Amino acid sequence: MKTLLITGGAGYIGSHTCLNLLSNGNEIYILDSFVNSSPEVFEKIKLILKENNKFENVKLKIYKGSLKDEDLLNEIFSNASASGRPIEGVIHFASLKSVSESLLDPIKYWDENLVGTINLLKAMNKNNCKNIVFSSSATVYGIKPDGSALRESDQIKPTNPYGFTKSTIEIILLNLFSSCKEWKIINLRYFNPIGAHSSGLIGENPLNNPANIFPNICQVAAGIKPKLYIYGKDWLTKDGTCERDFVHVLDVAEAHILSINYLYKSSSQFLNINIGTGNPTSILELVKTFEKVNNLKISYEFVDRRPGDIYRSFADVGFAYEILNWKSSRNLKEMCVDGWKWQKNQM
């Protein structure tokens, strides 16, 4: 059992990962500003743990605050040390994540994502905690004209400020590793996490207008939005709509547990690992599967391509399997059923 700091632990991927960590008896400290989440998620997590007889001895401490508050970060590390169980590792989810917002307000993104991360790394260094799993993204990759699977060794060439904050943090982490101070680092480059916990109690809860496809499908199904816009129907893909690598959020959560355990056992490391299914799914395929498995209709309209969109993005997942022995186990149908169950619970 380990003691971990989870930044952004109230968010979408963070909450599913925290549930998994707590189910397995780990002690976790959460730092979250709740800028895109709500503390209520922890009541839901406790409920799921109770229902599964895993609630006894839950070790969870929640701090409301920003990564930009260096004193608070140090206080969390000090409190853990004072309790006799110092923080041994960090899973760093906290970040702003909207590509479109980052294009409109890049300074905000550099300030929150980069300054916040530097503060975190300073606090980790000061408190001699050098194991970190960082939430990176497939957005760090450049466009691959042949549309083949993206590999970790492919060119890093983001196209928007959000992506640049992620690729820059990867470089900072590489510098730390190269400084020979025994850092152990895994950057998980997620493709498109969707779905929710099968209880329907936790899921993606965007407080602002979501830009990604799956919450939009759910919101159209729920009648919150009148229709879904599909950008382009003449791409060079099987049905003309863009293709993405959708991966169940519970599979993504499991990759974090394997990553942190891998770091504990290994010597100084710096690894970039893709997290996806390895299968491209078109937007239309996703919509049709959602309709079929949930027995409903999604009103959608094709509109012009968006500037900057790429026609296909999917992961080569061989390295994740080789290093972590991880591969996704849940299919598109489960992603659609679980995601809709969560959305219905919000109505």
Ligand X SMILES: NC(=O)c1ccc[n+]([C@@H]2O[C@H](COP(=O)([O-])OP(=O)(O)OC[C@H]3O[C@@H](n4cnc5c(N)ncnc54)[C@H](O)[C@@H]3O)[C@@H](O)[C@H]2O)c1
Residues that bind ligand X (CB under 6 A): 7-8, 10-14, 31-37, 66-68, 93-97, 112, 116, 135, 137, 190, 192-193, 212
Nearest to ligand X of 190, 235 (CB atom): 190
Q: In the numeric block, which tokens belong to residue 346?
A: 């919000």
Cα–Cα–Cα angle for 67, 68, 73, rounded to 5 degrees: 55
Q: Is 320 helix (H, G, I), strand (E, B) or coil?
A: helix
Shortest Å, Cβ 34 to ligand X = 5
Q: How far apart are CA 74 and CA 145, in angstroms?
A: 45
209 CB-side CA count, 13 A: 4
To ligand X, the closest distance from the beta carbon of 189 in angstroms equals 8
Active site residue 262: no
CB closer to ligand X, 36 vs 127? 36
Whole-number minimum distance, CB 328 to ligand X, in Å? 14
* Closest to ligand X by CB, 11 or 200: 11
CA proximity to 161, closest of 102, 94, 96:
102
**CA atoms of 317 and 53, how far apart (whole Å):** 34
Question: Does residue 257 sit in helix, strand or coil?
Answer: helix
Task: Kindly name the residue from 162, 190, 262, 311 that is annotated as catalytic.
Answer: 162
Nearer to ligand X, 38 or 268 (CB): 38
| 267 within 8 A of 195, measured Cβ to Cβ | no
Residue with CB nearest ligand X? 11
Q: C-beta of 94: minimal distance to ligand X in Å?
A: 4
The radius of gyration computed from the CA coordinates of the chain, to the nearest angstrom, equals: 19
Active site residues: 162
